[in-house]
Amino acid sequence: MIDPVTAVGMATAAYNGLKSAIATGKEISEMGQTLNQWATSISDLDFAHKQAQDPPMFKKMFGASQIEQKALEVWGHKRKAEEMREELRKHISFVYGPSAWEEIVRIEAKMRKERKEAIYAAEERKQEILEIAISLGLALFVGAVISAGIYFIGASQGRW
């Protein structure tokens, strides 16, 4: 899972860099890498929020208190990111005009799509494989316990 603390830390660093660049009057085209870092971090935070809302089966079964704690943590980070986004929208719209913010939204959507196709899909696949392996292992263990029980019952009765 993508760490929400790391994502919000990177988003905050990029946000502070964007704010200082705007304050010094840099052109928006010069802030491309920082915008990319901010969009990537926000996308990672959104994915972590999605995963916290729908945790894997084995985490639901064995770590309910951790799930709630993680969900609250991610929710708080998401709120902070929304505040940063709104303040950034105001600054950019005021200094460069609303069209600049629309361009940033397009960049962010593009980054989210690219990361979903590459990283998030792989993360979800890995999670599914892990769930299948745990389920299979649990089924084999239960089958072995039942088989051993039947064998020992039969052996104690002298049937085999």
User: What DSSP string describes 60-82?
Assistant: HHH-HHHHHHHHHHHHHHHHHHH
Closest to 105 in 3D by CA, of 117, 80, 88, 118: 88
Q: Which of 58-62, 75-79, 85-89, 138-142 has the lowest mean pLDDT?
A: 58-62
pTM comes to: 0.61
State how far the Cα of 69 lies from the Cα of 3, in Å rounded to an integer: 14
Q: What is the DSSP letter of 118?
A: I
The string of pLDDT tens digits covering residues 30-80 is 777 888 888 888 888 888 877 777 776 666 666 656 667 777 777 888 888
**Which residue shows structure tokens 């072995």?**
144
CA–CA distance, 81 with 47 (Å, rounded to integer)? 13
